Structure 1
Amino acid sequence: MNLNIIGYFIYLSITAFIILKVGEICYKNGNVYVAELIPNHSDLCQKINQILLLAYYLLNIGYCAMTLISWEKILSTNQLIEIIAIKTAAIVFIISALHYTNIIIITKYIHKLIK
């Protein structure tokens, strides 16, 4: 029995939840960092934060959809769980790497402005 369709549904459900939840948290808390970069322009900061959120969603959801192409045929429930775990872990790793890269870049930029 081919379990790929079930795997796709489970994988996309899990990753969509993770992506949407992390995006919501970063959006709420990220406005402070953007406001630090561009003081006295709250409307512009809000728009930039919205664009960052949209780019985040497009990048991550697009990547999740593209990974479906590389899935091999799933023949057992053990293989199904293993593939979902590996693919979900990859998404979480990518999200965290992008987040920390953004924090490092923003922090260095703010330190440059202060000096």
Structure 2
Amino acid sequence: MDWTVATYVTYLLVAVPLTVWVAHTLSSNGQVFLEEVFTGNERLAQAVNRLLVVGFYLLNLGFVSLYLRTGGEVVDLRGLLEELSVKIGVVTLVLGVLHFLNVWAFSSMRRRHAMDSFRSAPVAPQGFVPATPYPAP
């Protein structure tokens, strides 16, 4: 096995588990936000959570696959480490951006749900109150 293939294998052995770990963390902690947003509908919260995780996997694993190829031949251990540092660094940055977008999506859903709860009247209408005319000046 040459150094380029070793770089590919090492990259995949780091990037794929890293993606799985971040997805699992987002899924387990995001479930709490979604259960609050979809109050009383736990099945919907779980379904949305699973769909978000699938989308996260598709985006990240697609990026990891596309970014697998190196720019040139890796000839020694130093080249392997340098290539891996760039690749894993970029994958980590992409995971961080997607994590931020996921958290932002959860927060906006939660905020929207909280604002919707303020729109309803706190007390049911008690009846019609006729308008009182203003006195003429």
TM-score, reference length from structure 1? 0.88
Identify if the C-alpha distance between structure 1 residues 82 and 89 changes in structure 2 by more than 3 Å, giving closer, same or farther: same
Q: How far apart are 1:2 and its partner, in Å?
A: 4.4
| Partner Cα distance (2:96, 2:84) in 1 | 18
Question: Alpha-carbon deviations, 1:59-100, whole Å to 9, x = none?
Answer: 111111101235321112111101111110111111111111
| Structure 2 residues without counterparts, runs of 5 or longer | 116-137
Matched with 1:63 is 63
Task: Kindly provide the amino acid, as one letter, of the partner of residue 110 in structure 1.
Answer: R
- Residues 1:25 and 2:25 aligned together: yes
| Structure 1 residues without counterparts, runs of 5 or longer | none
Task: Kindly provide the amino acid, as one letter, of the partner of residue 14 in structure 1.
Answer: V
Matched with 2:40 is 40
CA contact (8 A) 2:34 2:110 kept: no
Instruction: Tell me how large the CA RMSD over aligned residues is.
Output: 1.7
CA contact (8 A) 1:3 1:76 kept: yes
Matched with 1:80 is 80
Instruction: Extract structure 1 runs of 4+ deviating beyond 3 A.
Output: none
Total equivalences in the alignment: 115
Instruction: Kindly indicate whether structure 1 or structure 2 has the higher relative contact order, using CA contacts under 8 Å at least 6 residues apart.
Output: 1
Task: Kindly provide the amino acid, as one letter, of the partner of residue 114 in structure 1.
Answer: A
Task: Kindly provide the amino acid, as one letter, of the partner of residue 54 in structure 2.
Answer: L
Matched with 1:9 is 9
Matched with 2:134 is none
Q: How far apart are 1:44 and its partner, in Å?
A: 1.1
Q: How far apart are 1:8 and its partner, in Å?
A: 0.4
Percent sequence identity over matched residues?
Answer: 22
Report the structure number with the largest CA radius of gyration. 2
